[in-house]
């Protein structure tokens, strides 16, 4: 069915009064709502539809399926996938950002379009830590049901490990509950591969008393350290040492462009899930390297810790992000940081338009949680990752992006040199094109996901992943 005819039908459908339908791309607010973290593959849809309730989502999906009109859900807009051309529509979930916290059951329930920042704030206000990623404007549900890398992992596992239940609109447009008691097989799928099974209209997750941080008032210690590029290998060596010798630390360190000239610096954002005194001891190897500048170094309330990562969230520009997983700390050596610096220099020299390109390594210490085996069988297959290498390609023109991406692929091959092929890992939340076996590891897991996909979404309404 033509999109205009479909929108005509939808306008007469029983959806709530708060829902909205926009059809005019010449309007400023229409264009503003298309803003994404990356402009790669950005298209202009035939319409943007804003549901306000879970029943709205079910009604809209059912009508779209009957009319064979393509659609894609958008929550935080931090992927390149929430886009569709003029024959389809974007299901923009931004009217559904509520979060409720239940102190008795120690859970939080987030609506379809809630952002990470919404959930962190709601939990923090009641004295809890929510298990989320580090960038407040990323969609909470997509990031959690895709695995949920988090700096809290050493204490309480990954975001997807903390999922208790969900409400979901299926590929038939039915609204179902997923929990230990209902549609249990989908609980496995939404703990790591949830974006490919339906639209999660709300997600209930465990939250944790701030007392797990072991500090009065639930603070963590956080700092941003800037070093000259000549210290790249030394910073990597110190970060590896911190990772190996501590159980509550997080360090994101790498080569990034610094304003105003976008010349390279080494930046380390460090967080200790504990007291200032313990933090300064834990991070001593890095602090001893005498950073050039320390723009931030303080105890911060857990609810504000994501502010340290704001630099990564700006929307627009042509960006690609490759998250390459290494399965043991030994697979990343200090001299690899020197290679990352050289690779970035190569890109910036050939294409100054791509000077924003950089890479960061995520050194998260292992913690007591890693030793718990009971909950480990889910769609999330990256529990074995010791270190994530994030290769960020960022350009203002296509040529620059293509070259930065080519160099990133080269870098990926290099950093995998100490790894067996069966260990190759790409974080599924950043890629839908890497080989499926690198995103969802293990033959048994893949077969199970294929089987679930055939049962719940055989026609690929929510992508053809696993079909």
Ligand X SMILES: Cc1cc2nc3c(=O)[nH]c(=O)nc-3n(C[C@H](O)[C@H](O)[C@H](O)COP(=O)(O)OP(=O)(O)OC[C@H]3O[C@@H](n4cnc5c(N)ncnc54)[C@H](O)[C@@H]3O)c2cc1C
List contacts with ligand X (CB under 6 A): 37, 72-79, 81-82, 93, 112, 133-135, 138-139, 141-143, 146-149, 194-195, 199-200, 312-313, 321, 429-430
Cβ-based neighbour number of residue 9 at 10 Å: 15
CB of 41 to ligand X, least distance (A): 11
For ligand X, the closer CB: 151 or 210: 151
Three-state secondary structure call for residue 115: strand
For ligand X, the closer CB: 307 or 414: 307
Q: How far is residue 185 CA from its own chain's centroid? A: 24
CB of 309 to ligand X, least distance (A): 7
CB of 421 to ligand X, least distance (A): 25
Q: How far is residue 364 CA from its own chain's centroid? A: 16
For ligand X, the closer CB: 40 or 337: 40
* Nearest residue to ligand X, scored by beta-carbon proximity: 139
CB of 438 to ligand X, least distance (A): 16
For ligand X, the closer CB: 154 or 291: 154
CB 273 within 8 Å of CB 226: no
What is the DSSP annotation of 94-105?
Answer: TT---EEEETTT
CB of 139 to ligand X, least distance (A): 2
What is the C-alpha R_g of the chain?
Answer: 22
For ligand X, the closer CB: 94 or 343: 94
CB of 72 to ligand X, least distance (A): 5
Structure tokens at 219: 């603070």
CB 3 within 8 Å of CB 22: no
Long-range CB contacts for residues 8-13, cutoff 8 Å, separation at least 24:
9/63, 9/67, 10/49, 10/60, 10/63, 13/59, 13/60, 13/63
Q: E-assigned strands of 150-235? A: 163-169, 175-178, 199-209, 219-227
For ligand X, the closer CB: 147 or 264: 147
CB 317 within 8 Å of CB 395: yes
CB of 50 to ligand X, least distance (A): 13
Instruction: Give the span between the Cα atoms of 95 and 79, in whole angstroms.
Output: 19
For ligand X, the closer CB: 141 or 235: 141
For ligand X, the closer CB: 97 or 344: 97
Cβ-based neighbour number of residue 426 at 10 Å: 21
Instruction: Give the span between the Cα atoms of 186 and 191, in whole angstroms.
Output: 8
């Amino acid at each position: 069915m033509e999109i205009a005819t479909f929108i005509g039908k939808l306008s007469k459908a029983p959806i709530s009064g708060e829902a909205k339908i926009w059809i005019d791309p010449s309007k400023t607010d229409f264009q503003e709502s298309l803003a994404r973290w990356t402009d790669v593959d950005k298209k202009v849809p035939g319409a943007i539809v804003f549901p306000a309730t879970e029943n709205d989502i079910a009604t809209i999906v059912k009508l779209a399926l009957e009319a064979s009109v393509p659609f894609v859900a958008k929550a935080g807009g931090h992927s390149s996938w929430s886009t569709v051309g003029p024959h389809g529509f974007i299901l923009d979930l931004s009217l559904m950002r509520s979060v409720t916290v239940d102190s008795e059951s120690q859970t939080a329930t987030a609506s379809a379009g809630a952002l990470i920042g919404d959930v962190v704030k709601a939990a923090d206000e009641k004295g809890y830590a929510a298990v989320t990623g580090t960038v407040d404007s990323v969609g909470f549900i997509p990031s959690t049901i895709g695995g949920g890398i988090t700096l809290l992992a050493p204490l309480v596992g990954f975001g997807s490990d903390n999922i208790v239940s969900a409400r979901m609109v299926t590929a038939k447009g039915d609204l179902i509950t997923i929990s230990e008691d209902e549609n249990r097989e989908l609980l496995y799928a939404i703990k790591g591969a949830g974006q490919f099974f339906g639209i999660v209209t709300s997600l209930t997750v465990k939250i944790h008393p701030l007392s797990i941080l072991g500090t009065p008032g639930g603070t963590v210690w956080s700092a941003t350290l800037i070093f000259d590029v000549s210290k790249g290998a030394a910073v990597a060596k110190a970060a590896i040492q911190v990772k190996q010798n501590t159980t509550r630390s997080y360090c994101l360190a790498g080569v990034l462009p610094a304003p105003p000239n976008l010349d390279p610096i080494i930046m380390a954002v460090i967080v200790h899930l504990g007291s200032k005194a313990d933090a300064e001891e834990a991070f001593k190897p890095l602090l001893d390297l005498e950073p050039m500048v320390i723009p931030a170094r303080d105890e911060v309330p857990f609810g504000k810790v994501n502010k340290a990562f704001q630099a990564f969230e700006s929307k627009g520009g042509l960006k690609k992000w490759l998250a390459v997983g290494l399965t043991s700390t030994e697979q990343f050596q200090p001299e690899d940081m020197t290679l990352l610096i050289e690779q970035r220099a190569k890109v910036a020299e050939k294409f100054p338009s791509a000077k924003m390109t950089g890479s960061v390594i995520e050194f998260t210490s292992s913690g007591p949680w890693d030793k718990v085996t009971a909950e480990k069988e889910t769609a999330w297959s990256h529990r074995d990752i010791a270190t994530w290498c994030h290769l960020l390609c960022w350009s203002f023109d296509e040529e620059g992006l293509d070259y930065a991406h080519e160099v990133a692929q080269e870098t990926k091959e290099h950093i995998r040199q100490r790894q067996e092929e069966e260990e190759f890992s790409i974080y599924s939340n950043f890629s839908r094109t890497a080989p499926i076996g690198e995103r969802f590891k293990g033959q048994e897991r893949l077969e199970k996901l294929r089987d679930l996909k055939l049962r719940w979404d055989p026609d690929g309404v929510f992508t053809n992943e696993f079909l």
